Amino acid sequence: MASSHVPSEAALAAEAAPRLRRRRPLTWSRVLRGSVPYWLILPVLATVGAILGYPLYSLVRLSFQRYGLFELIQHHGVWVGLSNFGSVLHDPVFWHTLVRTVIFTVANVGLTMVIGTLIALLLVQVSSVIRVLLTTGLVLVWAMPPVVAVQVWLWMTNYENGVVNYILTKLHVGDYMQHDWYASTFSMLSLVTALIVWGAIPFVVVTVYAGLSQVPGELVEAAEIDGARPFRVFKDVTVPILKPIFLILTSLSIIWDFGVFTQPFLLIGQSRIDTSNYVMGTYLYEQGYFFHDFGRGAAISILMLLMVALLSVVYVRKMVQFDEVR
Amino acid sequence: MKARFVASLALVAALVAVSTAAARTDSPTRASASKITVWLQVDAQSGWPELVSSTNSAFQKAHPGVSVDVQYQTWPDHLGKFDATLAGGNVPDVIEMGNTEMTKYMAAGAFANLSPDKGSFANSRSWLQGLAASATYNGKLYGVPYYAGSRVVTYRTDLYKKIKAKAPKSLAQFTSIAKKLRARNGKKSFSPVYIAGTDWYFAMSFVYDYGGTIATFSHGKWHGALTSSKARAGLAAYKRFFNVASRASRTGTEDRPQPYDVFAQGGAASIVGPAWFSCCTGKKYKSVTNQFVMPGHRAGQSMPGFLGGSDLAVPAGANDKALAKDWIRIFTSTDGEKTLQAKGNIPNATNLLGNSVNERAAKRSWFVPTAKNWVNVENGNVLRTMLARILTGKDSIKEATSTASDNITLTLNRP
Selection from B75, B86, B74 nearest residue B28 by Cα:
B86
Tell whether the model's pLDDT for residue B1 goes beyond 50.
no
**Contact partners, residue B384, CB within 8 Å, separation at least 6:** A271, A272, A274, B198, B200, B253
Selection from A318, A116, A110 nearest residue A207 by Cα:
A116
How sure is the predictor about B243, in pLDDT bands with cuts at 50, 70 and 90? very high
How sure is the predictor about B4, in pLDDT bands with cuts at 50, 70 and 90? very low
- Of A111-115, A167-171, B311-315, the one with minimum mean pLDDT is A167-171
Q: Testing the interface with A: which of B75, B83, B249, B372 to mutate, by most A Cβ within 10 A?
A: B249
| Predicted local confidence at residue A230, as pLDDT | 83
Do the chains contact at A158 and B257, CB–CB below 8 Å?
A: yes
Q: Which one is predicted more confidently, A267 or B26?
A: A267
Do the chains contact at B384 and A183, CB–CB below 8 Å?
A: no
Chain mean pLDDT for chain B:
86
Tell whether the model's pLDDT for residue A115 goes beyond 90.
yes
Tell whether the model's pLDDT for residue B23 goes beyond 70.
no
| Predicted local confidence at residue B8, as pLDDT | 44
For the segment B256-296, what is each residue's pLDDT rounded down to a tens digit?
Answer: 788 888 888 888 999 998 887 877 888 888 888 888 889 99
Using alpha carbons only, how large is chain B's radius of gyration in Å? 23
| Predicted local confidence at residue B25, as pLDDT | 38
Cα–Cα distance, B316 to B112 (Å, whole number): 4
> Searching chain A, which residue's CA lies closest to the CA of residue B101?
A290
How sure is the predictor about A324, in pLDDT bands with cuts at 50, 70 and 90? low
| Predicted local confidence at residue B3, as pLDDT | 44
| Predicted local confidence at residue A23, as pLDDT | 58
Cα–Cα distance, A14 to A16 (Å, whole number): 5
> What are the backbone angles phi and psi of residue A278, rounded to the nearest 5°?
-60, 140
Q: Which one is predicted more confidently, B159 or A100?
A: A100
Q: Does the reported pTM lie above 0.80?
A: no
- Of A85-99, A229-243, B315-329, the one with minimum mean pLDDT is A229-243
Tell whether the model's pLDDT for residue A312 goes beyond 60.
yes
Query: Helix H segments across A49-184?
Result: 54-63, 69-74, 83-89, 92-125, 128-143, 146-156, 163-170
B191 CB within 8 Å of a chain A CB: no
CB-based contact B303:B205 (threshold 8 Å) = yes
Tell whether the model's pLDDT for residue B5 goes beyond 50.
no
Tell whether the model's pLDDT for residue B38 goes beyond 80.
yes
For the segment B63-99, what is each residue's pLDDT rounded down to a tens digit?
Answer: 988 999 999 998 878 988 999 999 888 899 999 999 8
| Predicted local confidence at residue A33, as pLDDT | 81
Selection from B97, B190, B85, B99 nearest residue B149 by Cα:
B99
Tell whether the model's pLDDT for residue A14 goes beyond 90.
no
Tell whether the model's pLDDT for residue A75 goes beyond 80.
yes
Query: In the Cβ-directed half-sphere of A44, how many Cα atoms lie within 13 Å?
Result: 5
For the segment B304-357, what is each residue's pLDDT rounded down to a tens digit?
Answer: 888 889 999 999 989 889 999 999 999 999 999 999 988 878 999 888 888 878
CB-based contact B181:B269 (threshold 8 Å) = yes
- Of B127-131, B180-184, B260-264, the one with minimum mean pLDDT is B127-131
What is the full DSSP assignment across A220-273?
HHHHHHTT--HHHHIIIIIHHHHHHHHHHHHHHHHHHHHT--HHHHHHH-TTT-
B89 CB within 8 Å of a chain A CB: yes
Cα-Cα-Cα-Cα dihedral sign, residues B159, B163, B164, B170? negative
| Predicted local confidence at residue B345, as pLDDT | 87
Distance from CA of B180 to the nearest CA of A (A): 22
Cα–Cα distance, B399 to B346 (Å, whole number): 38
> Searching chain A, which residue's CA lies closest to the CA of residue B253?
A271
Cα–Cα distance, A322 to A316 (Å, whole number): 10
What is the full DSSP assignment across B142-158?
--EEEEEE-EEEEEEHH
The mean per-residue pLDDT over the stretch A254-273 comes to: 89
**Complex ipTM value:** 0.74
| Predicted local confidence at residue B19, as pLDDT | 36
| Predicted local confidence at residue B11, as pLDDT | 41
> What are the backbone angles phi and psi of residue B135, rounded to the nearest 5°?
-105, 10
Phi-psi label, residue B365: left if phi above 0, alpha if psi -120 to 50, beta otherwise: beta
The mean per-residue pLDDT over the stretch B398-407 comes to: 93
Distance from CA of A134 to the nearest CA of B (A): 23
| Predicted local confidence at residue A323, as pLDDT | 62
> Searching chain B, which residue's CA lies closest to the CA of residue A175?
B188
Tell whether the model's pLDDT for residue B201 goes beyond 80.
yes
> What are the backbone angles phi and psi of residue A46, rounded to the nearest 5°?
-65, -40
Using alpha carbons only, how large is chain A's radius of gyration in Å? 26
How sure is the predictor about A5, in pLDDT bands with cuts at 50, 70 and 90? very low
Distance from CA of A163 to the nearest CA of B (A): 15
